[in-house]
Amino acid sequence: MIAKKLAIVGLWCIQWHPVDRPSMKVVVHMLEGGEKLSMPPNPFTSTDSTKTVADMPRRRKGQDFINEIATIGRIHHVNVVQLIGFCFEGSKHALVYDYMSHGSLD
């Protein structure tokens, strides 16, 4: 159950538009609270990479995602955000990165 909660919170935190992402206070409440969490409305519809991955055959998408995780997971540099984890269920994929305390570079 905790893995599902972490995955849902991760999906909320990777929303494309910053106004759709929860504040740290809300994230803490989501993780500590006992209530059921709802899925974000469209967690995978806003990036160009989603479109590229969606066009690949299903088997290749899974292998490419695993290869990306393996590559990103080996990167350790002071100027690169650390990969914390990942999840995938069916055709849905998510990467969870370390929190950027000074904000995004967008």
The pTM of the full predicted model, rounded to 2 decimals, is 0.41
pLDDT in tens, 4-61: 788 888 888 877 777 888 888 888 888 888 778 888 776 655 443 333 444 445 555 6
The per-residue b/e assignment along 43-78, b for 16 or more CB within 10 angstroms, e otherwise, is bbeeeeeeeebeeeeeeebbeebeebbeeeeeeeee
* pLDDT at res. 93: 74
pLDDT in tens, 82-103: 777 777 766 777 777 777 766 6
